Amino acid sequence: MRATIVGGILAGVAARAAYTALTRRPPGRNGLPGEEVWGRTNHRGEPVTLLEGPAFVAGSLAGVLLAPGVPGRMRAASVVAGAGAGALGAYDDLAGSSSSRGFKGHLGSLARGEVTSGAVKILGIGATGLAAAAVAGSPAPTRGGRLLDTALNGAIVAASANLMNLFDLRPGRAIKVGLLTGLPLAASGPARAAGVAAPLGAAVALLPEDLGERAMLGDAGSNPLGALLGLAATRLGRGPRLAVLTGLVGLNAASEFVSFTKVIARTPALNRLDMLGRRPAHTPDAVPEPAVQVADSA
């Protein structure tokens, strides 16, 4: 419990410090000023920054590395999963386009010989998930040996990373989903608690910026949030892990045909939770600025 609390606090402090530093001097790219590189418009057409994502990664990894009691293999695996998914997400944030969406769109383009940033991210996160799973090992190997176990765990990390990205379409939504899944996972045992403390601590520290519609996680933040929670889920037993993977695959597949945003809006309980802490949709209080690029999920 002590390690969990300390890890969460350290991650939150580090995430806030990183966000302050990054927004004070946004990093530029290819001669473009940082405000233009990381600036996007949200669902209201209002300006937000994507620097919440890199700040989340910095805070999460700082919490994992500095918190007491986290096993060495899990520290290393968290760095692989968080940094890998964050880097690939940032690449898609900065180099991506909206011409292809979802697995079907990106892999369809790849089949036609067009390599989209989304396809690079999908394949890269798959490889990163497998690498993180191999580094972490498993407390309860599946029947069939280490290779099968690594494949199962890697699929959980990758599918969780992609699914979390699909929720980052409204203020605070991805972080709320992270809390709803991460807190029960933490309560299921100390091994899972140690894994979720840092990402949840960093996410909560940045939640006011997200709900206030000043910033959003983007792919650079939502992908690693999902990956780190998925990595924590690999500490479960074989049966629960298979159930988790089944749910993740089902939701990822459903996203190709169903809009999660529409489902949430039509479901009163989900809509109330989704709107908690947010500005009402009919009361914009900022003047829209010209968009550089509309932020959306891959």
pLDDT at residue 291, rounded to an integer: 46
Helix (H) or strand (E) holding 40: strand 39-41
Task: Write out pLDDT tens, residues 146-159.
Answer: 888 899 999 999 99
The answer to whether residues 197 and 63 touch, using CB atoms and an 8 Å cutoff, is yes
Residue 127 lies in a domain: yes
Q: Report the pLDDT averaged over residues 182-190.
A: 89
Query: Percent of the chain having pLDDT more than 90?
Result: 63
| pTM score, whole prediction | 0.88
The whole-chain average pLDDT of the chain stands at: 87
* Residue in this structure with the two tokens 């989903």, named with its chain if needed: 177
Q: How far is CA 221 from CA 31, 36, 269, in A?
A: 24, 18, 26
Q: Which domain holds residue 41?
A: 2-275
Residue 64 lies in a domain: yes
pLDDT at residue 294, rounded to an integer: 47
Q: Please state, in angstroms and rounded to a whole number, the distance separating the CA atoms of residues 223 and 232.
A: 14
Query: Percent of the chain having pLDDT more than 70?
Result: 86
pLDDT at residue 272, rounded to an integer: 96
Q: Report the pLDDT averaged over residues 2-21.
A: 92
* Residue in this structure with the two tokens 């920054």, named with its chain if needed: 49
Per-residue pLDDT band at 119 (split at 50, 70, 90): confident
Residue 293 lies in a domain: no
Whether the per-residue pLDDT at 142 is higher than 60: the answer is no
Residue 282 lies in a domain: no
**Measuring CA to CA, which residue among 71, 68, 87, 88 is closest to residue 137?**
71
Alpha-helical (H) ranges within 212-254 are 218-233, 238-254
Residue 193 lies in a domain: yes
**Measuring CA to CA, which residue among 215, 206, 209, 285 is closest to residue 39?**
215
Q: Report the pLDDT averaged over residues 27-54.
A: 89
- Provide the number of structural domains found in the chain: 1
Task: Write out pLDDT tens, residues 223-279.
Answer: 999 999 999 999 998 899 999 999 999 999 999 899 999 999 999 999 999 999 998
Task: Copy the structure tokens of residue 208.
Answer: 């006011």
Residue 205 lies in a domain: yes
Residue 286 lies in a domain: no
